[in-house]
Structure 1
Amino acid sequence: MSGRAIGTETEWWVPGRVEIDDVAPVVSCGVYPAKAVVGEVVPVSAAVWREGHEAVAATLVVRYLGVRYPHLTDRPRARLLPTPSEPQQRVKPLLIPMTSGQEPFVFHGQF
């Protein structure tokens, strides 16, 4: 841990953490992978938050397993959709599987 001097005492502090909760789609609390058909639109979501009032952001990273990467197009296939009915500010990217097999995804949070 690192500390900073405040007055005559040293206060220990931890920098703010970025939390990622409620990741979807999930099957049996993440025990089994979610399934989809090639070309099917799969909405994925996560609640990304941080203690305090600073802005946070998240990136959805999809890792393609196998020998070949799928053919990339000129325009991105994932769109971010705002969800106005949610009390917190959230966006839901759409994932379109382009090959059969496993395509694990992970959210990266940042502030």
Structure 2
Amino acid sequence: MAKTPTTAAKEVTIDDLSSQIALLKNDIASLTETLGEYGKAKSKEMRDNARTAANDFADTGRLKAMEAQKQAEEFLQAQPGTALGIAAGIGFLVGLVTARR
């Protein structure tokens, strides 16, 4: 059987396969490197977002604590007798709870 031009073009040599495999290895290495860089960038972005959210929560918490302190001070100035009674009651309850242990 004689080789026709179409069957000769379809024949692949070992050297052709080796060069294609080497090219594929290089592509995979490049893809792996790109994925690694993408992962590092996303990791940094997520870390920065978490830090920003934590700072926002801390600031909100500080503001709420200052508001509560201000309200407590206003209550103490407006009704010192009631505040003293509440403090004595809380102290008595804490003493009961700790004395049982």
Fold shared per TM-score above 0.5: no
Q: TM-score, normalised by structure 1?
A: 0.19
Q: TM-score, normalised by structure 2?
A: 0.20
Query: Which is richer in strand?
Result: 1
Query: Which is richer in helix?
Result: 2
Compare CA radii of gyration and give the structure with the larger one: 2
